Amino acid sequence: MTGGASGIGLETARVLALRGAHVIIAVRNVEAGNEAKQTVLNANGDANVNVLKLDLCSFKSIRTFVDNFNSLNLPLNILINNAGVMFCPYKLTEDGVEMQFGTNHLGHFLLTNLLLDKMKNTVKISGTEGRIVNLSSIAHLHTYEKGIQFDKISNELGYSDKKAYGQSKLANILHCNELSRRLKASYFTSFLEAEGANITVNSVHPGLIMTNLMRHTPLLMKVLKVFTFILWKNIPQGASTTCYAAVHPSLKGVTGKYFLDCNEKKPSAFARDEVLAKKLWDFSDKMVNQPKLV
């Protein structure tokens, strides 16, 4: 899972380890990742936890991470795309993409695509359903006028840190929905050949939680929390929907859905737009496979 060094990512890692999962914590800061590993081990001395370096701002780092993960020769049953940045000032990733879209969406898009064959192989060998979970947000409702501004994805002019975040969270849902559609099509086609890709893909909104993700707007969030305190969750509550989507048996075969408070919810009209999802997939695929922009 990505972003497992703190907050709901760390809590998710702890819960999954308690359930017997071998957890890989993928983090930009390896020192923080090792501290998180120790926290998980303190809760469960028998836990299996590895820490691997991953910087979602860098396509090169993502490819290196996948090589390192594959070298461990471990199965891949669950992929949780949890890490992200929020409301940050305008900045470009190492590859020349606006930071929030590049990290929250493109980084996870590339990571998921590179790990998909590993998960398919695990499913084939184990016979157990694979699950991919993207952490989105209710913030996907607050995005740019056309949902995804493809023609100026990295433009500084007109940049809004809030709308850019919403755009990236909308992209997380659209990514899930399109990957779910492609996997279902692949599954029913290959089912006749007795080797279907039995993998579900869902997105979740963890709720309003005060974590390190808020570091760019601490004052705003503290003021907001005073007036909306009844809506806020603690970290274990925030991780519950992620864990539900990742392991709950009642979700067997459920795919392409959006969850809030461990219940399926209807996302925005943009998030349900299949044409937009297909366009985003093609756009993203082109971006992660082109030469550096800077």
88 part of a folded domain: yes
Mean pLDDT, consecutive 10-residue segments, the chain of 294 residues? 95 97 98 98 96 98 98 98 96 97 98 98 96 97 97 97 98 98 76 63 84 52 48 81 98 97 97 98 96 62
Instruction: State the catalytic residues.
Output: 159
The answer as to whether 149 is a domain residue is yes
Residue 69 lies inside a defined structural domain of this protein:
yes
| Inter-residue contact 22 to 10 (CB < 8 Å) | no
In a domain, 231, yes or no: no
**Domain contains 226:** no
Residue 24: which domain range?
Answer: 7-206+239-288
Distances (CA, A) of 151 to 148, 169, 224, 248, 283: 9, 18, 33, 40, 10
Would residue 218 count as lying in a domain?
no
pTM above 0.85, yes or no: yes
Give the per-residue pLDDT at 186: 72
CA separation (Å) from 174 to 96, 269, 274, 285?
A: 22, 11, 8, 14
Residue 69 DSSP SS3 = helix
In a domain, 270, yes or no: yes
The reply to whether 227 falls in a domain is: no
When divided into structural domains, the chain yields a total of 1
Supply the CATH number for residue 22's domain.
3.40.50.720
DSSP string, 5-17: TSHHHHHHHHHHH
